[in-house]
Amino acid sequence: MDEQQNTKVRFETLNAEKIPFGKNNFLEVARKKAITDEGVSEFISVSRGYYLPDGSEKYKKSITIPDDPDIKTFITDKITKL
């Protein structure tokens, strides 16, 4: 039988920037860090969210991108060419 790992992950936001769009939406691009007992890993997060009536934020969808120069260049190049 495989033993289940009870690994806890803690996330820290190192830097984040948002841009509003539409009536009540925003996009956030952030550099984050995942911390586990095995080590630390940094990644880029692109999230879409919206503002609630009280002004707080609610996130809907997110994609994470490895902090790899080749991948970041690929994504940047493809987005600018679309």
- Per the structure, the count of domains in the chain is 1
Whether residue 76 lies inside any domain: the answer is yes
pTM above 0.85, yes or no: no
Q: How far is CA 36 from CA 26, 45, 80, in A?
A: 29, 18, 35
Q: What is the pLDDT of residues 27-62, one digit of tens each?
A: 999 999 999 999 999 999 999 999 999 999 999 999
pLDDT, average across residues 8-13: 94
* 14 in any annotated domain: yes
Asked, for residue 43, whether it belongs to a domain, the answer is yes
- Contact assessment for residue 65 and residue 75, using Cβ atoms and an 8 Å cutoff: yes
The domain that holds 44 is classified in CATH as 3.10.450
What would the pLDDT profile of 12-27 be if each residue is shown by its tens digit? 999 999 999 999 999 9
